[in-house]
Structure 1
Amino acid sequence: MVTEADYTLDKDDGGRTVLRLKGPYLLSTISDVDTGLRKIDEQIDVVDLAEVSEIDTVGAWFTNQVASNHSASIENADDRAQRLLTAVGESSNDSTVSAPRLPLLTRAPEAMGEKVFNAGHGIVQVIGFFGQILLGTASILRHPRRFRYRALVHQFESVGVNALPIIGLMSFLIGIVIAQQGAVQLQAFGAEALTVNLVGRITLRELGVLMTAIMVAGRSGSAFAAQIGTMKLTEEIDAMRTIGLSPIEVLVIPRLLACFFMMILLGFYASCMAIIGGAVISDLTLGIPFWTFLSRIHEVVPAHDVWVGMIKAPVFGLIVAISGCYQGMQVEGNSEEVGLRTTKAVVQAIFTVIVLDAFFAVFFTEIGWG
């Protein structure tokens, strides 16, 4: 007795090539014969179902496919098999299925309008998120005991202390590059001594804080989005609300404060490391002694350049933290959303920081701090 799907291939009295299917052709049994039937290269004239003991929709579809591939006829099918073969035959369709596509002149404006609408909707959501932060801050000011100081200290360590090595190395190398490349250009005018001015002003005023903000965005901003997004996905934030805790107060505000204060220190630290890098390369290649380079910094860099960098630093820190926390709170659906929102957090933070840096450059020049 045949208990598994099987088949034989032979010739009948008329010389036709007959594929004789045997046993139950069901979803659970045809996997064993599927590979063998697909490898048959010989032309088949007839598919004989006389010895098929049982057949379901999958078996009928499979039989119909084999017959269609060889342009063969199906014979000796019982009533049930014939009904299933007819049903799957009527449902087959070889036409190419594609979604309707609008013309380019319609599709492009529609896509642009959708992006503009989504951008406007996103701005409204960001303003609403900022309002929640203000309400959470007011609530903490009314009830200081609710503030989680340990969480703030932990974020100080994560955002600030743990970032010192990478930011210090990056800034040191940037200082070397600025001094070396600047000296090459200034030597053409015999003014390589002005390398001190170049390194001091550009690092304290612009690059020190800007590069630090970009590093913090890539390091801490992405971490904020991923951490909060994962908590949103695992419903930990919903659990916080259930037990009466505000996610804004517990998760967002400590991260905002950490970025706000640590960006000031990290920005100044980065500027100092860049100046040290410039002093080292100047001592080695330009003949400007290390301590002379540092003492000249005090003479050639005006105090307002330091203040410009220190004013921009906390603003950049807030931008990075708000972007990371906001994107983390927007995570919905699945784990892929965490990666997408993390990428958006970093891109938006860096873009906004650069735009604001350009605004600050114009603003401080207009007020005489150029």
Structure 2
Amino acid sequence: MAIRSGLLSSSPGQLPGSAEFNGTHLVLSGAWTLAQYSSLSQLISTIQQKAPPEFTPDLSQLGRVDTAGASLLVKLVGARALLMALNSSGLADEQKALINAVASAMENDEFCPPKINPILAFLGTIGQKVTSVSRLMWLLSGFIGETLSSLFYILPRPSRWRVTSFVAAVQDTGLNALPIVALLTFLVGAVIAFLGATVLQDFGATIYTVNLVAFSFLREFGVLLAAILLAGRTASSFTAHIGAMKVNEELDAIRTLGLNPVELLVLPRVLAMMVSLPALTFIGMISGMVGGAVVCAITLDIPPSQFIAIVERDIALKHFLVGLGKAPIFAFLIAVIGCLEGFKVAGSAQSVGEHTTSSVVQSIFMVILLDSIAALFFMEMGW
């Protein structure tokens, strides 16, 4: 079997590169140069498909060879086999030196899959994650400090207050989110009441379903559901808005005008969230207990008047204050994280999407983490 590259690409006075199997010997002849690189590449693909499992290269009839042709020879027969065939090739010394240099270099560059220790790889992955979280917490702490310093600077200076931006942010974060928060907490309250009634029925204590619903929504679910909804709805909005401004270089224009972007963009949003989330938390508490009262009235024959009487008798005011007291802290963190991710946008639409997703994930994570810490603290304090 003889295969020859195209004549049009060969050098003047030189036969085109070819390859012929003679038993187990692959006889290579003709010119293997850059001018024939394309046709020689096709030649190599054809030979590799029809080559026997083992063969020996014969370089005795090889013509002119340059660096590109030598690399193709290495690709065809392998660096080690080519170096062994050079000894008995009878080629000129300069050809041997060129092929030897290319084959030796490509042999040293052959990829050897590294042996990966799974334990070290696992520990390395954990280290990378810890480093990433530490860097994120460092940036978040610095941004919180910058936000608080700007807030304390403008508080005694009413002329610098952004009342219009604040009111618009309250409408966006509070009033516009009111229907979805009320509906979701109503449905969750109904589900909790139904599950509580199903479990407590086996013990003949279905009356305590009222305590379960009221206790859970006043302390946890009211503020938690409202905060998670705002983290997904509002934090992403803050990130996308500020990120789009950075992509359009509006933040640079604000700084050029001598204005502070934190004072102009962050503080109105942070203060609006700290006003909106406590109000939404209160609405969520009421809606959740209304949902539980509806289920109790339908399935347990507990009228709303009895439901209210049980809540007034058995549920202390401290549970309401504990739930409501967590709302401003959650609101501050959600707003700060959303704004910080907006400032971290790199300048492309893809970066806006990535940081918007990151702000939602970070906000929800921080809300649940702080809520868990607060629950443990209040339990130890007996509140």
Residue 151 in 1 paired to residue 175 in 2?
Answer: no
Counterpart code for 2:45 = N
Provide the C-alpha distance between the structure 2 equivalents of 1:194 and 1:18, rounded to a whole number of angstroms: 90
1:39-80, Cα deviation, whole Å (9 max, x unpaired): xxxxxx99x99xxxxxxx7x84322222323349xxxxxxxx
Corresponding residue for 2:313?
299
Gaps of at least 5 residues in structure 2 are 10-26, 49-62, 76-108
Corresponding residue for 1:223?
237
Distance 1:184 1:70, change over 3 A: closer
TM-score, normalised with respect to structure 1: 0.75
RMSD: 3.1
Counterpart code for 1:66 = Q
Contact 2:3/2:43, CA 8 A, preserved across alignment = no
Gaps of at least 5 residues in structure 1 are 1-14, 24-44, 50-56, 73-81
139, 164, 171: which is aligned to 2:178? 164
Distance 1:90 1:225, change over 3 A: farther
Residue 191 in 1 paired to residue 205 in 2?
Answer: yes
Corresponding residue for 2:281?
267
**Residue correspondence of structure 1 range 1-370 to structure 2 within 5 A:** 60-71=36-47, 86-92=66-72, 94=75, 97=111, 103-332=117-346, 334-369=348-383
Counterpart code for 1:216 = L
Corresponding residue for 2:20?
none
Distance 1:22 1:211, change over 3 A: same
Specify the SS of the correspondent of 1:188: helix
Distance 1:317 1:66, change over 3 A: same
Q: CA deviation at 1:91?
A: 4.8
Q: CA deviation at 1:172?
A: 0.7
Q: How many residues align?
A: 317
Provide the C-alpha distance between the structure 1 equivalents of 2:277 and 2:316, rounded to a whole number of angstroms: 21
Q: CA deviation at 1:87?
A: 4.8
Aligned-pair identity (%): 38
Contact 2:5/2:39, CA 8 A, preserved across alignment = no
Provide the C-alpha distance between the structure 1 equivalents of 2:131 and 2:157, rounded to a whole number of angstroms: 39
TM-score, normalised with respect to structure 2: 0.73
Contact 2:226/2:284, CA 8 A, preserved across alignment = yes
Corresponding residue for 2:92?
none
Provide the C-alpha distance between the structure 1 equivalents of 2:275 and 2:224, rounded to a whole number of angstroms: 15
Counterpart code for 2:367 = V
Contact 2:5/2:36, CA 8 A, preserved across alignment = no
Provide the C-alpha distance between the structure 2 equivalents of 1:101 and 1:341, rounded to a whole number of angstroms: 35
1:69-128, Cα deviation, whole Å (9 max, x unpaired): 3349xxxxxxxxx99x94533455748657867644544444433433333333222221
Contact 2:6/2:39, CA 8 A, preserved across alignment = no
Counterpart code for 2:41 = Q
Corresponding residue for 1:39?
none
Distance 1:154 1:98, change over 3 A: farther
Specify the SS of the correspondent of 2:318: helix
Provide the C-alpha distance between the structure 2 equivalents of 1:99 and 1:19, rounded to a whole number of angstroms: 34
Contact 1:60/1:88, CA 8 A, preserved across alignment = no
Contact 1:222/1:342, CA 8 A, preserved across alignment = yes
When structure 1 is superposed on structure 2, of 296-305 and 198-207 the one drifting more is: 296-305
Specify the SS of the correspondent of 2:204: coil
Provide the C-alpha distance between the structure 2 equivalents of 1:189 and 1:105, rounded to a whole number of angstroms: 49
1:303-357, Cα deviation, whole Å (9 max, x unpaired): 1111111101111111211111122222225433323322222222222212221
Provide the C-alpha distance between the structure 1 equivalents of 2:274 and 2:298, rounded to a whole number of angstroms: 37
